[in-house]
Chains A and B, each alone.
Chain A
Amino acid sequence: MGKIAAVTGNEAVANALRQANPDVCSLYPITPQTDIVQRFASYVSNGQVDTELINAESEHSSMSAAIGASAAGGRVVTATSSQGLALMWEMLHIASATNLPIIMPLVNRALSAPLNIHGDHSDGMGARDTGWIQLWSENAQEAYDNTVQAFRIGEHKDLRLPVMVCMDGFIISHSIERIEYLEDKQVKDFIGEFVNVNPLLDLEHPKSYGPLILTDLYMEFKRLQHEIMGRVKKVVLDVAEDFYKLSGRRYGLFESYRLEDAEIGMVVMNSAAGTSKDVVDAFRDKGIKAGLLKPRLFRPFPYTEIADALKHLKAVCVMDRADSYGGYGPMFMEISSALYQVTGNGSGVAKPKLINKIYGLGGRDYMPEQAEQVFTELDAIAKGAPVKLVKDYIGVRE
């Protein structure tokens, strides 16, 4: 068993990066991620890692430097939040389409305007279509564990894809919690030596990155990106199995909590999932069969597996800590799509009634009372009450 400590989510993730000992770290600070790169810079100064640090002048440059370093050959990390991720946007697509396994903790924070430094998922959801793998984390332990696993996943020979590891800004990044570290050597052995694939610095074998591909092959290239994404689930599960053997902590594509015999369920990610689990228990104690599904792998999205886990429910509420103005919340769109494909045995399948709640934007506290409100509404819907409003906001002042 590794060392047990009371640390912030940022400190836990910074330690995972230290244990991975990357070749290059490009960085530009932004609240609430700053603490990660600040700590990492001190590891570099103290000689605890062999990493070359690149202080960039913006996040666009930081991601560009990460892309250059990764193409040159070597293990590369960076980290960001909110506007930083938004500024990286065009480079995010280049990292993934060029098959560069850059590992990037994303400390989730609201997007401007209005300016807000607190936690919500607008940044990560906005990067949904950039071709990055996304892992989401409930607490500091999961953020640490996901960061360690991200290296194995992204660098896997069948994938070679960049990975974003998401955790809630402030709620997790700045709160102190008990976590269990792995030993440095355990992490080193688990993620292994970095294996180069087509490094630019292999001067004996010159190659070019970033070619122009027009109508002749662009579409084939894009389909290939989708096909590579199709391999991610297996790698994530294989890595999770090895991680379980190492740590005793189980991970999957998502977490099912008291869902098997449930009648009503909530889909919720990150820190709010923990708060909601306590409320699930309270409803179970009252004899109401509540359950919860917490997505972990959001890209690629495990549609069939999640549909299988939810299809027996009478009513489901999808919780979104991000919004699409004029549309449903981003998670709701995925769950709706997943459940629409459920066909059953032809005798007429009753799919769950679906509702969508937008919560916690800009760091608005998500309290157990909000989860109680949701489960109470779901219970009524399950017993036949009509769905009044598919998408609604909770914890908001009138």
Chain B
Amino acid sequence: MAETLEMRWHGRGGQGTVTAAKVLADACLSGGRYVQAFPEYGPERAGAPLKAYNRISDKELRMHCPVTHPKVVSVVDASLLDAMDVTEGATEDAFFVINTSKDPADIRKAMKVKPGQRVFTVDATKIALDEIGRALPNSPMLGAIGKITGLVTLEHMLDEVKKSFGKKFSEKIITGNLKAVDRGYKEVREG
């Protein structure tokens, strides 16, 4: 892992993108790592585009400002690809993870990424509908991000997702989410 990994999430209000950033931070906490997770604060409206950020480092994180040069960009809602430039400021070797049913090669072409940048896709919404019964793409996105970044093992990510649900949710919801993480991890493809 690079000294500090900076990541940006693009989602829409109500999809749980901020929660996903938090779960990732929790999952990365082990092994003495420093973590940050924070959204860009604005009017909070369901469906409105939002950004959230993660920093993960072996060193103490002192920077307290939005991430402007992310190494990883997670796009939880593919409709945002037409609404904004999700590649803005991304590093030359950035990873993009897009929730879409489209072919990763087509997405790569449409996004006009730089040669050193890599594009991954996962049909997180379909996985979520299959496994949870609702279009909540967090869990498969987390699985996919765990896989491509190598930040945490699948087992550890599963543990964290389970923990994040606590005691408030039914066994069925929790099991569905765990399956969704697992499928996200296994079904992410590179374009």
Contacts and interface: CB of A to CB of B under 8 A. Distances in A.
Interface of A: 4-6, 118, 138-139, 168, 170-172, 174-178, 271-272, 274-275, 277-278, 363, 365-368
Interface in B46-69: 61-66, 68
Given A5-B29, A6-B26, A172 B64 contact: yes
B41 interface: yes
Interface residues of B, number: 20
Contacts, number: 64
Contacts of B39: 174
Nearest 9 A/B pairs, CB to CB: A274-B62, A175-B38, A271-B64, A176-B37, A6-B25, A178-B34, A277-B62, A6-B29, A274-B64
Contacts of A139: 62, 64
Contacts of B26: 6
Given A6-B29, A275-B64, A368-B65, A176 B34 contact: no
Given A274-B64, A275-B64, A367-B68, 12 more contacts: A4-B29, A6-B26, A170-B41, A174-B39, A175-B64, A176-B25, A176-B36, A178-B35, A275-B63, A278-B62, A278-B63, A363-B41
Interface in B1-57: 21-22, 25-26, 29, 33-39, 41
A363 B64 CA distance: 12
B129 to A, nearest CB: 29
Contacts of B21: 176
B65 A366 contact: yes
Contacts of A368: 63, 65
B62 to A, nearest CB: 3
10 contacts: A6-B22, A6-B26, A138-B62, A175-B64, A176-B21, A176-B38, A177-B34, A177-B61, A271-B64, A367-B66
A374 to B, nearest CB: 15
A14 B112 CA distance: 46
Contacts of B35: 6, 176-178
B42 to A, nearest CB: 10
Contacts of B29: 4-6, 178
A272 B25 contact: no
B51 to A, nearest CB: 12
A309 to B, nearest CB: 20
Q: Could you say which of B22, B64, B65, B66 has the most chain A C-beta atoms within 10 Å of its C-beta?
A: B64
B64 A174 contact: no
Contact of B36 (A138, A175, A277): A175
A296 to B, nearest CB: 15
Nearest to A171: B64
A297 to B, nearest CB: 21
A256 to B, nearest CB: 15
A6 B55 CA distance: 12
B142 to A, nearest CB: 15
A174 B38 contact: yes
Contacts of B33: 178
B67 to A, nearest CB: 11
A33 to B, nearest CB: 15
Contacts of A272: 64
Nearest to A177: B36
Contact of B65 (A118, A138, A275): A275
Nearest to A32: B41
Contacts of A175: 36-38, 64
Given A6-B35, A6-B37, A176 B65 contact: no
Contacts of B62: 138-139, 274-275, 277-278
Nearest to B34: A178
A5 B63 CA distance: 19
Nearest to B66: A365
A118 B34 CA distance: 25
B122 to A, nearest CB: 24
A170 B40 CA distance: 9
A118 B36 CA distance: 19
A367 B64 contact: no
Contacts of B36: 175-178
Contacts of B22: 6, 176
A272 B64 CA distance: 7
A309 B48 CA distance: 48
A197 B34 CA distance: 43
Nearest to B32: A4
Q: Could you say which of A6, A175, A363, A366 has the most chain B C-beta atoms within 10 Å of its C-beta?
A: A6
Contacts of A178: 29, 33-36, 61
A186 B119 CA distance: 49
Given A4-B29, A6-B26, A177-B36, A365 B65 contact: yes
Contacts of A176: 21-22, 25, 35-38
Contacts of A365: 65-66
Contacts of B37: 6, 175-176
A178 B37 CA distance: 10
